[in-house]
Amino acid sequence: MAKLDLTTPVHTLAGVETDLTAHEGKVLLIVNTASKCGLTPHFEGLQALHSSYAEQGLAVLGFPCNQFGKQDPGTNEEIGAFCEKNYGVSFPMHAKIEVNGDNTHPLFVQLKAGAKGTLGNRIKWNFTKFLVAKDGTILKRYAPTTEPGAIEADIQAALKA
């Protein structure tokens, strides 16, 4: 099984370059998000998972993407304010990225290679979710329409492993 390289550079919503090594040893739920999508209410379920399991070692990580129907056109600052105001998001959100095509962010290159979906190596839509084990193994990909609560049993299993 493929492992995620936590040293892959990412940027915070504030534009600061960092990586995911701060989450080493945690179970990760990595999601490409959008603020103006029919699935945007998934933020509520993602926040609920974060609230329930962060202390046990879960890190929910959001990566806004404007590639699907131009459903996240705002600036990183606007995206952060929207998520906090409308859904109380307190899990880490990152700078807007691309998840398909020539400019696919290296993090999503790894995730897609480690857990193929119905479109193979492509992301189908906003709110595709990836579950990563404590050791970095990419465990599973979930469809955009999969409600965050439906992933809870898999998260619990990964936290116990």
Beta-carbon contacts of 67 under 8 Å, excluding residues fewer than 6 positions away, are 98, 99, 100, 101
Looking at 85-153, which runs of residues are DSSP E strands?
A: 129-132, 138-142
CA 111/CA 109 separation, integer angstroms: 6
Position 33 scores a pLDDT of 96
pLDDT at 31 over 80: yes
Catalytic residues: 37
Name beta bridge partners: 73. none
Single-letter residue type at 159: L
Predicted TM-score (pTM) of this structure:
0.95
Q: What is the pLDDT of residues 99-139, one digit of tens each?
A: 999 999 999 999 999 988 776 788 999 999 999 999 999 99
Mean pLDDT score, 13-22: 93
Position 121 scores a pLDDT of 81
All structural domains of the chain: 10-160 (3.40.30.10)
Q: Which of 48-57, 93-102, 111-120 has the lowest mean pLDDT?
A: 111-120
